Structure 1
Amino acid sequence: MDLFEEDEAGNAPEFSVTEISGAIKRVIEGEFGHVRIKGEIGRVSFPRSGHVYLDLKDDRSVISGVIWKGVASRLETRPEEGMEVVAVGRITTFGGQSKYQLVIEDLKPAGMGALMAMLEKRKAALQAEGLFAPERKKALPYLPDVIGVVTSPSGAVIRDILHRLRDRFPRKVLIWPVAVQGKACAPEVARAIEGFNAMSIGGGMPRPDLLIVARGGGSIEDLWGFNEEVVARAAAASQIPLISAVGHETDTTLIDFVSDRRAPTPTAAAELAVPVRAELLSWVAEQGARLVRAETQALELRGQRLRDLGRGLPRAETLLEGPQQRLDHLGERLPRALVGLAQTRRVALSEAAGTLRPGMLTRRLAEETRRLDAVSGRLGPALTRAVAGKREALGRRSDRLSLAPIQREIDRQGRDFSRALQRLVHYGEADLRRRGDALESLDRLRLSVGYEATLDRGYAVVRDGDGRILRRKAEAEAAAELEIQFADGRIGAMTGAPGSDAASGRATKAAATKPARAKPAPKADDQGSLF
C-alpha cells in the first residue's frame, strides 16, 4: 500500500519516526544500490576506531562518506583533503541524524593529474619540515663492512646489485625482502628501514653500515609506494646512511628527496656503495712505491750531507791534544798548590790563635757577669719603687674605690712580680751557664786548632824581642833578641848581629822567668804528615 495514499475520509495515515526513517532508507538504497561519484575530498577524519569519515564535494554540493575499517586497510590510496577522487559505493541513510551518506567500498585518484597534485602537496609539506635539507644528509661510509638491501628477492634488481658489488669490492649483504609495488609496498619498505636501524651494533646479526632501497623501472602507479609519506619519513629518520635507487634515471619519487644519496639505477647504487678494489690496490701500490723512492732519496741526501760535514771536521786526535796538554800541566801544579794552600791556612790559623787568649775570654765573661748582676740588682729596687708609687697613687684614690678589688689586684700583681723575678733569676743563671759552656767550647776549639799541637810534632815558633813571629831567615838575623817556643817551654837564643851576647843573655834570663805552658793533649788524628 502506498504510504502517501489518503484514505476515503481524506485523513493522512500516522507513522512513527522509525517507520518513516526505514521507508526512506529502503527507497534510497533501492534506487542507489551501487554508484560511482567523482568529487574532491573535503574534511577527513581518522578516529581511533579505524574507520574513515570524509566529505565529497564539488562547487555546489557536499555528500558525507564513510569508509569502514576493513575497507580502509585495503585501500591503495590514503584519502587526503583536496584530492580529486572517484569513489565507488552505495548510498544509505543514518536515521540517528536524519542524513544520508556514501558507504565507500573503493577509492582511487581521478586520473594522473590528481596523483601528481597529491604528490606535489606531499612534497611541499615534507620540504617545509626540512626533510629535504642538504645539511641533514649523512655522508656515505667509504668502505662499508655490511650493506643492507631493501628490495624484492625475486627480481633482477638484487642480482644486478650483488653482481656489481662482487666485481667492485665484495662485501657482506643483508637482504630484507619486501613488495616493491601494490598496497603492501609502502608499509613493508618502511618496516624494513626501521628494522635495519633497530639492529644492535655487535649483535648476533651484524648491523648494516649502509642501506640501499632499490626497485626497477615502472609506471607512476607501480612506483607509488615509494611516494607514500610513511616511506619518506622512515628514510628521513634512518640513522644508517641510505641510498635510494628506485626506477630509472628519469623516475623520481619522494624517497629520492629524503635519502642521503640518490642513484639513477640499482647498479649505480652498488657503484656508489663501494670503491673498486683493483683501483685501491693499484693506488696503494703506487703510494708505496712513491714512499720508497722518497725515503731512498731522503737517505741519500742526508748521507751526502753527513759526508760533506765530516770532511769539514778536524781529526779526533787534534781535538784532544790541547785538553790533554792542559790536563798534564794542571796535574803537575796540583800537589804544589795543595801544599802551599795548607801551609798558608796553617799560618793564618796560628795568627788567629795567638790573639785568642783565655785571659781575654775570662775578662769578657767577668764583665758580662758584673753587668748582669748590676742589672738584676737594680731590677728589684726599681720594681719595688714602681709598686710603691702605684700603691701611693692607689691610696690617694681609695676614697673613691673599693679596697677589696684593689687589694686583690695588688696581690695578683705581686704574685706576677714574684713569678717574673723568679723567671729573671732562672734566665740569668741559664744565660751564665750557656755562656760558660760556650767559653769552654771556644777554649776546646782553641786547643784543637792552636799551634801548640803542631809543636808536639817537632816544630817550633820563633819570635823577636817584641813577640812578633819571624818567618824569614833575614828577619831572624836582623833581630836583637830571639825567643824559640817548643812544646814544653820557651828559650832565648843568640844571633850573629852585634851586641847579641848581651841580648841573648837578657833573652835567656827572661825565658827562664817565664813559666812553661801546660802541654795540650795530642789530637787523635795527627796531620803532621802533610808537612
Structure 2
Amino acid sequence: MASPSQSGNDSGLLAREAAGDNAHAYSVSEISNALKRVVEDRFGHVRLRGELSGVKRAASGHLYCALKDEKAVIDGVMWRGNAGNLAFRPEDGLEVIASGKLTTYAGRSKYQIVIDTMELAGEGALLALLEKTKARLEGEGLFAASRKRPLPFLPDRIGVVTSPTGAVIRDILHRLADRFPSEVLVWPVLVQGQDAARQVSEAVRGFGALPESGPMRRPDLLIVARGGGSIEDLWSFNEESVVRAIAESPVPVISAVGHETDTTLADFAADRRAPTPTAAAEMAVPVRIDLAGFIADLAHRQQKCAMRPVSLGRERLAARSERLPQPGSLLQPQMQRLDEASEALRCGLQDRAVEARERLQSDAARLSAPLLRQRFREARTALANTRLAPRLIVQRIARKGELLDNQSRIFASLDPKAPLQRGFALVRDGEGTLLTSEQQAVQADALAIEFKDGTLRVGQQSSRPTTPAPRTKPRTPKKDGPPENRGQQDLFG
C-alpha cells in the first residue's frame, strides 16, 4: 500500500526525478550561460537609438551608461579602447545611436549592450551637446570679456595653426605679404577627423611653451584657422580640449574657423574672432602703405606744429613793427630839448662870466695891499682888547665839582661792603656764590663769612644747627642830637 505522501501529491520534502522525466534541473550558472549564448547568437550586432542616462567613466577608463526611450531602458558598457576613440564627450540627455552586441551579465541577471561605437543621433543632438558644453565652459568664465587681451599692433612673428595643404594657409600668407610682410610659423595639424582636436590643442600649447627669446622664440600672435564646412566638419574646434588650450594660451589668439556664418566654441575662447582666415590676416597686421602714409602725415603735422609758432611770431612781429613809430620821430623832442639846453647853457656861461668879471673888478679895489694891511691892524687891536672873565671858568669848575660829589655819594651808598663797617657780614658758599636764605646756607658744604677785616671759612658738621643763635637786642637810639636824627639810623652811615 502506497504512503499518503506518494499518492495524489507531486510535491515532497526531497526533490526526486521520476522515471522518464526530461525536465533537467539546471544550475544558475548553466542557465545564465545558456541565456548568454542565445542572446549573443541572436543579437550579435545591433544598433540602438536612445537617450543617454547615468553616464559614468570608471577609473579604468571604461564607460558605463544606460540607453532609454519612453517605455524601456537598457544598460550599456563601452570598454576603454573604444571609449577613448569617441569623437565627443558623452553626457546625460544626449540622443545617440550605439552599435554593438547584446549580452547578459550573470552577476546581476541583467542583459546589456556592449557598445563598440557611439554617434550622435542627428544634427539636433549635436547642437544640444554644443549648447551644453558652451553653457558649462561659460560658467567657468572661459568666455568672459574681461579675459580678452588686445592684439599687438605690429607683430614681428605670427604663428598659424592649420592644415599645411589647404587653401587657408595660402590665403593667410598671401594676405600678410600684401599688407605687411611678417615672419610666419606654421604648425601643421589635422583640421577635421577623430585626431584633429588633439593636434590643434597640442599645437596651441606648443606655441605657448616656446621661449620668449632666442632663434625659435614664441610668436607674438596666433591664428587658429580652418575653411568652411558642416557642423560635423568643424566639430573639432568645439572640443573642450581645444577651447581650454586657446583660453590658457599666453599668446593672443585669433580664431578664424569656417565662414562668416559658422560659429564654434573656439571663437568664444579666442581673444578675437575673424569671419574668415583672410580677415584674420587683415586683423593681424596693418597695411604697410597706409601705415607709411600715416607716419608721413604725422611727420608733416609735426613739422607744421613746429613751424607754426615761428610763422605766428613773424606775423606778430611784422604787425607790431608796423605800429612802432620811426626812430627819428622818437628822438625829435629830445633833440629839440638838447638844442634848447645847449643854447641856454651857452648863454648862461656867458652871463656868468660877465658877472664874475664885474665882481672881480669890483673886488680888486678892496683887495689892494694898503686896505689889507689896515684890516689886519684892526683885527689885532680887537684881539688885544678881548679879555677872558675868570668868573665864567670858576662857575664851570664849581658845577663839575658838584656833579662829582653827587656821583661819589651815590657810589658810597651803593657799595655792598659799606655795611661791613657796621657789623654786617656777607655769607658765601664754597664756590663763592652769595647766599641769601637759611635754606641755601644749610645745603652748602662750606661757608665763607666775610667781615670788615677778613673772611672766616666754616665747614658745616650738620644740616641744621642744634642751638639757635641768640638774637641781638635792638639798639636804642641816643637821646642827644638833633630831633630829626633820633629815628632809624642810616644803613650806609
What's the TM-score once normalised by structure 2's chain length? 0.64
Taking structure 1 as reference, are residues 373 and 279 closer, same or farther at Cα in structure 2, changes over 3 Å only?
A: farther
Matches of residues 426-445 of structure 1 in structure 2 within 5 Å? Answer: none
1:170 pairs with 175, 181, 185, which one?
181
What residue identity is the alignment partner of 2:150? A
Evaluate the alpha carbon distance shift between residue 423 and residue 141 of structure 1 in structure 2; reply closer, same or farther with a 3 A threshold.
farther
User: How far apart are residue 277 of structure 1 and its match?
Assistant: 0.2
> Residues 86 and 294 from structure 1, CA distance in 2 versus in 1: closer, same or farther, beyond 3 angstroms?
same
Specify the code of the residue in structure 1 equivalent to 2:218: R
Deviation at 1:151, TM superposition (A): 0.6
Aligned to 1:59: 70
Deviation at 1:201, TM superposition (A): 2.2
Q: 1:137-156 counterparts in 2 under 5 A?
A: 137-156=148-167
Q: Which has the higher helix share?
A: 1
Q: Which residue among 267, 283, 301 is the counterpart of 1:272?
A: 283
Task: Call closer, same or farther: CA 1:90–1:370 in 2, change over 3 Å.
Answer: same
Q: Is 1:217 aligned to residue 228 of structure 2?
A: yes
Match of 1:23 among 34, 45, 48: 34
For residues 299-378 of structure 1, the aligned pairs below 5 Å read 299-306=310-317, 370-371=416-417, 374=420, 377-378=424-425
Letter in 2 for 1:72: A
d(CA) in 2 for partners of 1:281, 1:22: 83
Change (3 A) 1:414 1:290: closer
CA distance in 1, matches of 2:436, 2:152: 105
Instruction: Specify every segment of 5 or more residues in structure 2 that has no aligned partner in the other structure, as ranges.
Output: 1-16, 335-399, 429-433, 456-493
Question: Does the CA contact (< 8 Å) of 2:435 and 2:441 recur in 1?
Answer: no
Q: 1:198 to 1:380 in 2, by over 3 A?
A: same
Aligned length: 358
Contact between 2:426 and 2:449, CA under 8 Å: does it hold in 1?
Answer: no
8 Å CA contact retained: 2:172, 2:277? yes
Q: Check the 8 A contact 1:165/1:274 in 2, yes or no.
A: yes
Displacement, 1:365? 7.9
Letter in 2 for 1:187: R
Shift of 1:423: 10
- Selected match of 1:226 from 211, 234, 237: 237
Cross-structure match for 2:90? 79
CA distance in 1, matches of 2:27, 2:415: 145
Residue aligning to 2:490: none
Unaligned runs of 5+ in 1: 1-5, 322-353, 391-412, 430-531
- How far has the Cα of 1:125 moved from its partner? 3.0
Aligned residue for 1:242? 253
The 2-side partners of 1:385 and 1:76 are apart by 116
Distance change (3 Å), C-alpha of 1:149 and 1:312: same
Give the drift of 1:149.
0.9
**1:247 maps to amino acid:** G
Counterparts in 2 of 1:84 and 1:359: CA distance versus 1, 3 Å: farther
Q: 1:205 aligns with which of 216, 239, 253?
A: 216
Match of 1:98 in 2: 109
Question: What is the CA-CA distance between 1:269 and the residue it aligns to?
Answer: 0.6
1:371 CA displacement = 4.7
Q: Give the corresponding residue for 2:341.
A: none
1:47 aligns with 2:93: no
State the shift of 1:161 in Å.
0.6
- Structure 1 distance, partners of 2:307, 2:72, is 90
Which segment is superposed worse, 153-162 or 274-283? 153-162
CA contact (8 A) 1:77 1:107 kept: no
Displacement of 1:126: 3.1
Deviations 1:147-169 (A, max 9, x none): 11111112121111111111100
Measured in 1, the distance between the counterparts of 2:50 and 2:93 equals 10
Name 1:284's counterpart in structure 2: 295
Q: CA deviation at 1:360?
A: 11
TM-align CA RMSD: 3.8
Aligned partner of 1:514 in structure 2 is none
CA contact (8 A) 2:426 2:450 kept: no
Give 3-state SS (helix, strand or coil) of 1:197's partner.
helix
Letter in 2 for 1:132: F
Runs of 4+ that moved beyond 6 A: 357-367, 383-387
How far did 1:386 drift? Answer: 9.0
Partner of 2:137: 126
